[in-house]
């Protein structure tokens, strides 16, 4: 049975489709979010790039599993903090294994969820990318499943050439995965999958759920790096949009069911020298009147790396309508 498990996971990741929605977000409130950000990074560059934060509440503190690029390879490091501003020195917890499906380029760009006292860390690996799962009981040692849990879609599908940028949340006893898919035309859009256990995923039949912006829009060249939460009777999503010149900003969208999304007017740009060309990679912890946001920023607009990436902090402040 153990010898068959990797194959079953791959087949399940590629072949299961269904129609579903997230549980209702409640009675919708009228209001809007405004953005406020700290001017300086909270985690400075610890390599060529330091990006892709994934923050979770863990054992009385905040745990951040973020990505570091060393000029050749993307790794995952872990750091802890009591307040989300001052972070301890990171320790490397994942590096790609060139002898496996991951190849030698990336085991990073992940999303973390705490479930039943265990950390489930979903990460991007391989080139073209797929999504893997690493488990940890203590936040220090991670055990990787031998095969990806979310793979490519079938020929001609919206995610035929890549599945990346995972963001996972738990609601209603199920796990929901928002992720980037790439098709053969190299269009990068966002889709959704659901799972009972984090290993076998069912993709939404209607994918993709969020399309590229029109000509001249900040997100006309690609979408990625979604972060989703529930508040004020809505599901909300921060996502990264890539312009034609590779400048990246974050957009905001909302939904009643987690499937049909409305893009909103708020677009978040960098206002400091260190994030003047790139604002991306949100991870969120929602609270009653605010959403805490950690994000990546850079001063060079490159497609994938060499952005001089650092990690910043901001907040979405809820302003109710009267």
Between 6-10, 13-17, 166-170, the lowest mean confidence (pLDDT) is in 6-10
**Predicted pLDDT at 7:** 33
Res 2 pLDDT > 50: no
CA-closest candidate to residue 312, choices 263, 275, 276, 261 = 275
Tell me the average pLDDT of the chain.
Answer: 94
Mean pLDDT of 79-104: 97
Annotate 41-78 with b (16+ C-beta within 10 A) or e (fewer): bbbebbbbbbbbbbbbebeeebbbbbbbbeeebbbbbb
**Predicted pLDDT at 141:** 95
**Predicted pLDDT at 15:** 57
Cα–Cα distance for residue pair 69/107, rounded to 1 Å: 10
Whole-model pTM? Answer: 0.94
Q: How confident is the model at residue 8 (pLDDT cuts 50, 70, 90)?
A: very low
Cα–Cα distance for residue pair 231/169, rounded to 1 Å: 14
Distances (CA, A) of 6 to 1, 28, 206: 10, 42, 27
* CATH superfamily for domain 5-320: Glycosyl hydrolase domain; family 43 (2.115.10.20)
Cα–Cα distance for residue pair 292/90, rounded to 1 Å: 21
Res 14 pLDDT > 70: no
Cα–Cα distance for residue pair 289/273, rounded to 1 Å: 29
* CA count, 13 A, side-chain hemisphere, 253: 25
**Predicted pLDDT at 47:** 85
Share of the chain above pLDDT 70, in %: 95
Res 23 pLDDT > 90: yes
Share of the chain above pLDDT 90, in %: 93
Res 63 pLDDT > 60: yes
192-227 tens-digit pLDDT:
999 999 999 999 999 999 999 999 999 999 999 999
């Amino acid at each position: 049975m153990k010898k068959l498990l990797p194959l079953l996971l791959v087949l399940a990741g590629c072949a299961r489709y269904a129609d579903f929605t997230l549980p209702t977000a409640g009675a919708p409130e009228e209001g809007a979010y405004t953005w406020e950000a700290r001017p300086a990074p909270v985690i400075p560059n610890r390599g060529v790039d330091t990006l892709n934060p994934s923050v979770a509440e863990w054992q009385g503190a905040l745990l951040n599993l973020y990505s570091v690029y060393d000029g050749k390879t993307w790794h995952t490091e872990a750091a802890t903090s009591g307040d989300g501003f001052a972070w301890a020195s990171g320790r490397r917890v994942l590096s790609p294994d060139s002898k496996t499906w991951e190849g030698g380029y990336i085991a990073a760009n992940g999303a973390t969820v705490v479930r039943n006292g265990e950390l489930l860390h979903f990460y991007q690996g391989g080139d073209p990318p797929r999504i893997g799962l690493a488990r940890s009981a203590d936040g220090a040692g991670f055990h990787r499943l031998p095969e990806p849990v979310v793979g490519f879609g079938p020929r001609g599908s919206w995610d035929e050439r890549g599945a990346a940028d995972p963001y996972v949340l738990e609601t209603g006893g199920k796990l929901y995965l928002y992720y980037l898919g790439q098709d053969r035309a190299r269009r990068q859009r966002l889709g959704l999958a659901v799972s009972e256990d984090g290993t076998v995923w069912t993709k939404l039949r209607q994918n993709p759920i969020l399309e590229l912006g029109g000509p001249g829009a900040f997100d006309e060249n690609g979408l990625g790096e979604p972060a989703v939460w529930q508040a004020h009777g809505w599901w909300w999503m921060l996502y990264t949009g890539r312009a034609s010149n590779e400048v990246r900003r974050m957009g905001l969208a909302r939904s009643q069911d987690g499937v049909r999304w409305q893009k909103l007017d708020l677009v978040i740009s960098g206002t400091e020298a260190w994030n003047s060309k790139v604002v991306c990679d949100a991870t969120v912890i929602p609270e009653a009147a605010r959403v805490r946001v950690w994000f990546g920023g850079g001063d060079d607009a490159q497609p994938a790396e060499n952005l001089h990436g650092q990690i910043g902090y901001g907040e979405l402040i809820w302003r109710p309508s009267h």
